[in-house]
A = this chain, B = another copy of it.
């Protein structure tokens, strides 16, 4: 075919056919838009969903808890904003904090969509723009993309277009971080919500691209189980460790290993989401995962310090900045494979494979940047074999010997500097004393709570390698760190939604609890197991992803079974679903969107406000980012929030600087419209927050149950949800909740077994009128019981309105 240039021209011998390249491109765009109904906000700009944001923000007020009282953005500063003072540009603490929060959100969103962009370039290079998207038995292939951009993507090339939009918008948002832009906190809040929404588009693009091209499970129920834990790694074999989030390059390593029969000979293992995505690679058919998972970010430094890896390959995101510095000490070459992390290493992408291997083997360089994945595929496993020999020969040791351990623990002068510096103020000093006396259990306990950050070591005036001491002390525990993680299954399929949607909207499935985020837990990884266990027993749908999907698989019941082994993985009540890696979080919002689209037949494309309103009022879902630390968790949570899904973070999450918390005592604020006639319905605050932190797992449990209550629940649903709320409060706090009665609209809402008792309380403590013969409530509830009411926050969706 001859090459066409831009401009108007005609095709040979066909004078009256004129093609204008510009307009063909335009026509493509137009055609795509016209596919089906498109709602009012396809590819919304910053201001297009502002009305919706304002509705949310009126109910859910930004609560600012600054990480710093100063602003140091521009050279007019540093400005002291303490007490909501104004800086030199006129911005006050509220405005600046909202801006700071937004910056974190767009940083997270950029990490995901930047990852998506890299992956997409790579996959389009390999498979072409016309390669079709394949995500499983669904018509709604990409709910977030379709909802936001107004277009249903069909090919890899279509994803390009969605990313263009995301990138354009992220740059608009980043622009507003500049001094002298937005002046009011509320509009920074709206911008933050915008960024969160974009994040889910970026994540979805990333994940469906890799699902489609890399033979990952496509909405499969029974994916395989992968091995997880430091205890599962065989240190006798050459160990090739990969760290990061972007599996692109690693697939070449796996392929090379298979082609060269190395799969059994090399221990290929990973940390963070790359690990999860390795287990998804080519397991669509139910194959055994091709790699082991070591664990989360919290294990990075611990794994390196163990001395076990022979070669480290890093890609992007959540990779400790000191990997090269740490690995160097232990003769582990580091290969960087992505321009986001290059560590100052020489670019060997264009060099001969043998030369690279030789230079690294001989220690001429600490590592190499290899952007050519073909070469990476060969270099990494071959080098691991070589290094394994060399390192064993040289007797590279890592953790202290027993003698050194004694010396180190005795060296401690108990100055407590380490504890002051430890993000969680762990009791290092006392543990040193115990360890010196031969009692390792304090350190064993500490090991689980320790996120392996190394900050204690930076502070110690006696230069004790504290983390090594902890790890040495916990060797016994670490050897037992063996768990299972179900391979990420990708999307929730349309048929599943069709089956379960009604239960969710009516409330007879008590709710969806999405456990996401990282490993910054306040009290160790068992927290997650406890949450999952409790909620699964109670028939909640528990969805996990990323690091949480890992940590939750590290605990077993007395039968030695992890939760994954005990609970099935369909989108049904009482099921435990691992969607996949961080970018798979988009499938959680995706499922909520699908409920509105499939169960309620709402139009998806470009119809954000209506769908979000539907979800806020009717889909009892709550997100938990218990160990959230990263900016990505902020953007994921914020994306959930704009879509009407509340999110709870662990105590460290208060450092995101802002929460969205309602004031249930301000009853005027909680009215909704009835879409049937535009009349107002008084409702209790449900949910009463969009983003908050919780202090302990025990506090979290009843909060979860309460967070799943929605105005649309029918009586049965309400009864089920109230039962769990009351039971969990009694179990974990020892008390009936203060506000349970607010959710009661009729006697049939009350848990059957306790109906009489509760009616009495209603009469006595709240002055409700009860007809004791019929056991009926005569007066009291704020909300009238009316199953067919259609709660909405949007006036224009009401029949009689506007």
Contacts and interface: CB of A to CB of B under 8 A. Distances in A.
A31 interface: yes
Contact of A47 (B176, B369, B629): B369
A554 interface: no
Q: Which among A24, A30, A183 has the highest number of chain B CB atoms within 10 Å?
A: A183
A255 interface: no
Contacts of A126: none
Interface stretch (A66-74, A505-513, A561-569): A66-74
A75 B628 contact: yes
Contact of A18 (B1, B20, B323, B451): B1
A628 to B, nearest CB: 6
- Interface secondary structure of A, over-half rule: mixed
A13 to B, nearest CB: 8
Interface string A162-184: 01101110111011111111111
A322 B86 contact: yes
Nearest to A115: B175
A339 B164 CA distance: 19
Contact of A423 (B30, B76, B421, B628): B76
B629 A179 contact: yes
A504 interface: no
Given A114-B172, A130-B22, A342-B184, A629 B74 contact: yes
A183 to B, nearest CB: 3
Contacts of A319: 180-181, 183
Interface stretch (A3-11, A425-433, A777-785): A3-11
Interface residues of A, number: 126
A391 interface: no
Contact of A181 (B23, B47, B184, B341): B341
B89 A320 contact: yes
B110 A171 contact: yes
Given A79-B455, A344-B184, A178 B90 contact: no
Interface stretch (A101-109, A490-498, A694-702, A714-722): A101-109
Contacts of A171: 110, 113-114, 117, 166-167, 170-171
A21 B4 CA distance: 11
A317 B47 contact: no
Interface in A310-345: 316-326, 339-344
Interface stretch (A219-227, A440-448, A649-657, A669-677): A649-657
Contacts of A761: none
A306 to B, nearest CB: 16
A25 interface: yes
B6 A31 contact: yes
A129 B89 CA distance: 37
Given A86-B458, A170-B171, 5 more contacts: A46-B339, A47-B371, A78-B655, A91-B321, A181-B341
Interface of A: 1, 3-6, 11, 14, 17-28, 30-32, 45-47, 50-51, 67-68, 70, 72-80, 85-92, 95, 104, 106-108, 110-111, 113-115, 117-118, 128-130, 155, 157, 163-164, 166-168, 170-172, 174-184, 186-187, 190, 297, 301, 316-326, 339-344, 347, 369, 371, 421, 423, 451, 453-455, 458, 520, 628-632, 652-656
8 contacts: A11-B17, A76-B652, A107-B177, A111-B181, A114-B175, A170-B170, A183-B319, A187-B342
